Amino acid sequence: MPFLPLRSLHNSYPVEGTGCHYGQVFASIYFYIVFFFVHMLTCLGLSAQIYFMGTVRIDGGVFKRTFLVCKSDIFTCARPTHPTRIALLTVGIVVNLALSILGLVTQPMDFASYLLAIMIVNMLLYLSFYFIMKLICREKILLVVIILITLTLFLWAAALYFFQIKNTGWQYSAAQSRELNADCTIMGFYDGHDTWHFISALALFVSFVGVLLLDDDLDQTPRNKIRVF
């Protein structure tokens, strides 16, 4: 059987004038417009759930009910019922709005990495929210939790350092992607991307252990005396 000409393998070559490849899906401006609205509606819905401590039912009328409750609880009052909570949630909404606008303006080709960045930022925002609310409610943060959270920050910083090292390029041809390859750094077998997986997995484990122990200071506190936030 004769070999096919190299140019017949069109998946390895960019489309003329576009810089993209067959077999690869690149997000368009319409995709990012839809994602902008989905992202912000999700953010507003979750913020309402957190502010009203889960009393808002998630269904087709959630935004109408949230607006009516906000109108009576926030807009018509000289001072919101939970000023600290609404201040922290406003910061979160502004940060997510900035991330959505950034995606809309730059339209990153690597949508998976962009989505990962949004999730990591929101995880850090919620952890910060929980820490600040515990301090405001005069709850104690155990030393072991402080150590675990500090270790988590170092691990995530190291993981993200290795994540941004690109040894392949899915948006390039196979030959161009190979040019990005580098020597393996661990035992001559694992490269930077493998290291990202190792360290990020460890960072996730330490993060969850820290969250698991976060409220251990309330073990001896009666349930009816624990502040809900």
Please write the tens of the pLDDT for every residue from 8-33.
334 444 444 444 443 335 567 888 89
With H, G, I as helix, E, B as strand and everything else as coil, classify residue 14.
strand
User: Could you report the per-residue pLDDT of 138-194, keeping only the tens digit for each?
Assistant: 888 889 999 998 998 899 888 888 777 766 656 666 666 666 666 666 666 566 677
The whole-angstrom separation of Cα 187 and Cα 208 is 29
Distance CA 97, CA 186 (A): 39
pLDDT confidence of residue 16: 41
Buried b (16+ CB within 10 A) or exposed e, 90-101: eebeebbeebbe
